[in-house]
Amino acid sequence: MIFKLVIWLVISSALLDFVGSEDVGFTYHGFNSANLSLDGAAGVMPNGILMLTNETTFQTSRALYSVPVNFKSASNGSSFSFSTTFVFAIVPGHSSLDGHGMTFAISPVGGLPGGLDAPYLGLFNGSNNGKSTNHVVAVELDTMQTKEFRDIDGNHVGIDINGMISNVSKSAGYFDDTDNTFRSLRLAGSKAIKVWVEYDGKAKQMDVTMAPLMVSKPKKPILSFSYDLSMVFQETMSVGFTAATGAVVSTQYVLGWSFKMNGVALELDPYKLPKLPRIGPKERPKVLVIGVPMVSTVLFVVIFLGVVYYIGRKRKFAELLEDWELEFGPHRFKYKDLYYATKGFSEKELLGTGGFGMVYRGVLKCSKMEIAVKRVSHGSRQGMREFVAEIVSIGRLRHRNLVPLLGYCRRKGELLLVYEYMPYGSLDKILFDNPKPTLGWSQRFGVIKGVASGLLYLHEEWEKLVIHRDVKASNVLLDGELNGRLGDFGLARLYDHGTDPQTTHLVGTIGYLAPEQTRAGKATTCTDVYAFGAFLLEVVCGRRPLDPQVEDDDDAVLVDRVFSYWCRGEILKTVDSNLGADYVVGEVELVLKLGLLCCQYEPMGRPSMRQAVLYLQGALPLPELSLLRISSAGIRF
C-alpha cells in the first residue's frame, strides 16, 4: 500500500510539471481580445495597439498576461526554457527629449508592487531596488541615461536581475547577417522594432536579439547572458510589460506579442499587426504639390504682406544664436516657446526673485511639461561659449536629490535657464514665509539627508567635480513628495577630478560664505561644505544664518548662537519652536553638531560630504567637539 502511494506521488508531481509548463503559449497580433491584466496608465486602443503610457508626466503602467505561468519545476527546482518575441515603439513627446523607456519583465504573480515612475520604469523603487527577494528578471529598453544605475548611455538594452543596475547591457542595435556589421537602432522614434528573448533552461543562457520590424531575426544576438534563473524564479510567475514617464514624456506602444514555454514562440506577421498612430503632419496630396506653381503669383502677394507681420514678430522674439551653439541644439529652447509657456513672463507666474534673477513657472505648449525659467544677466568672466558648455554639461546631471537642468536660451543681454518644476517651491519659503503647516522633523531630516546625498554626487560620484557655490535653503526645492532637491546651478563650476579649482571670483550669499572664501574668493568643495553646515543649522533652528534685525551680535550670527548654547550644554534650546517637542533628540543633536563641525574656521578640519552622509546615516560616529575659539568668521576647534 505504501509503495503504491509513493509511486502515485511521483507520477502526480511529474504530471504537474508537464501540464504547468508545456501548454503555455499564445500569440497576439493586436490586443483587442488578449487575456491581459492592465494597471496604471496601460490601455488597449481601438485598433488593438497596447498603449502602456501616454503624454502625461510621472506615471507608471503594467500589462501582464492574466494567467500565472509555471517557470520552474516543482520536483527538482530547475527553471524551464522559454521564448518570446514582441514588437514595440517608443514615441517621444518632445522632439529633443526622448523621455523614459519600458521593460519586458518576469515577476512574482500579479507584478512586484510599488514600482515608481521615471528611471525605475514602473518596475522597482528606491527601497526594493537590487534586493534578491524581488524575484524579477527583466529586459530593459531604456531611452535615458541614469548615472545612479550605471547606464552606459541614453539608448541601450539591458538584462536586469532584481534591480535597475543591468547585469549586462549594450547600445541598441543589431548585427546585419549580410556582413556581420553592427547597426545602431534608436529606441525612441517613429519606427517599430522587434525583440526576441530566449532562455535555455539546460544551458542556463539568456539571449536578446532585436531588429527593425521588416528585418528577419539576426543570427547573432545583441546580448548573451549565462545565468541560472532558477535562483531567481519562483515556481509560478507573471509575464508582461512595464513602462513609466517622468518630467519628460513619451508614449510606449506594443503592437504584437508571442510567448511559448519549452518551445519556440511563433513569429509575428508584420502585415497582421495594427498600424502605429500617424506621427507628424499628414503627407500632402500630389495634386496640391503639382498645383502650387499655378497659384504662385497669388501666394507671392500673400507672402509679401506676411513678411511685414513676420519681421515684427521676429524682432519681438529675437534670440542671440552663434554658429558654435549648433552643437548644443537639443539643449537650447526657443525664446518664443518660453515666452508663451510663462504667459509672457507674467507676474502671476513669478515664483520668486533672487540675487541673480527672477524665476517663472511655465508649461511648454508642445509637451505640456511644467518648467521653471530663471532669467539671469549675461555677464560672465569666462567666455559665453565656455559658460554655455558648462550649463549643457550640468544638464547631464542625474540624481534624485538634484533639480534637473533641462537647457537654456540666450536673448538680448540675458540668459534663461530652464529647470524641471518643483510643485512645493523652495524650502526657505516653507520655513520662514509660510510656517503653517510647518515641516515636521522627519520631513526636515529627510530633506537634509537628501541634500547631503546630492552634494556628495556633485563632489565625488559624477564624471566631473561640480562645485555648487550657492548651497542654501532658498536653492533647495521640494518635489511633489516633499523630497529635498538641490537646484540653481547658474553659479556652479565643473572641474576634472584631482585638479585644483582656480575660480577666484567671489560669488555666493552672505551667511553661507566660508572665511577663506571671503578672503581669496576661491570656491572649493570645502566652501560648499561650510555652506552646507550653515544650511543644517538653518533647517533645525528655523532661523536664517545671518539676521540683521537681531540687536545682539551673538544671536544675529546663527553659527555663534548655536555654538554658544552648545558650550553651555543647552544646544536643544536652539531648535525651531515650531517643532515643539515633536522631534528625535538624538537626530537633532547630530545635525546641530554636524553643522558646527562643517562651519569650522580651518577648511581641512571640515568633513567631506561622504563623511557627512555617513554621519547622517548613523554609519560613522560623529567626532567629539572641543572648544578652542569661536568668532563670527568661523569656529576653531
Chain centroid offset of residue 165 CA: 14
Count Cβ atoms below 10 Å from residue 446 Cβ, excluding itself. 16
Beta pairing partners, 374: 359, 417
Measured distance CA(79)–CA(467) in Å, rounded: 50
Cell of 228: 541560472
Q: State the sign of the Cα–Cα–Cα–Cα dihedral 520, 526, 529, 534.
A: negative
3-state secondary structure 472-488: CHHHEEECCCCCEEECC
Count Cβ atoms below 10 Å from residue 592 Cβ, excluding itself. 22
Specify the amino acid at residue 608.
Answer: S
Cell of 203: 544551458
491 close to 391: Cβ distance less than 8 angstroms: no
Instruction: Give the active site residue among 151, 160, 470, 576.
Output: 470
Measured distance CA(223)–CA(156) in Å, rounded: 11
DSSP string, 2-71: HHHHHHHHHHHHHHHHHHHHHS-EEEEESSTT--EEEEET-EE-TTS-EE---S-SS-EEEEEESS-EE-
Catalytic site includes residue 176: no
Cell of 355: 540675487
Measured distance CA(53)–CA(254) in Å, rounded: 11
566 close to 596: Cβ distance less than 8 angstroms: yes
Q: State the sign of the Cα–Cα–Cα–Cα dihedral 46, 50, 55, 60.
A: positive
Cis peptide leading into residue 92 (ω within 30°): no
Coil, strand, or helix at residue 540?
Answer: helix
Specify the amino acid at residue 4.
Answer: K
Cell of 438: 510647518
| Class of residue 307 by CB neighbours under 10 A (exposed 0-12, middle 13-18, buried 19+) | exposed
Measured distance CA(369)–CA(598) in Å, rounded: 38
Q: Which helix (H) or strand (E) holds 260?
A: strand 250-261
Give the length of the chain: 637
Q: Nearest CA to 358 among 366, 369, 367, 350?
A: 350
Region for residue 594 given its phi and psi (left: phi exceeds 0; alpha: psi -120 to 50; beta: otherwise): alpha
Measured distance CA(25)–CA(266) in Å, rounded: 9
502-505 long-range contacts (CB < 8 A, ≥24 apart) are 503/467, 505/381
Cell of 305: 504682406
Helices (H) and strands (E) in the chain, counts: 13, 29
Coil, strand, or helix at residue 230?
Answer: helix
Residue bearing cell 501616454: 54
Specify the amino acid at residue 414.
Answer: E
Report, as residue numbers or ranges, the catalytic residues: 470
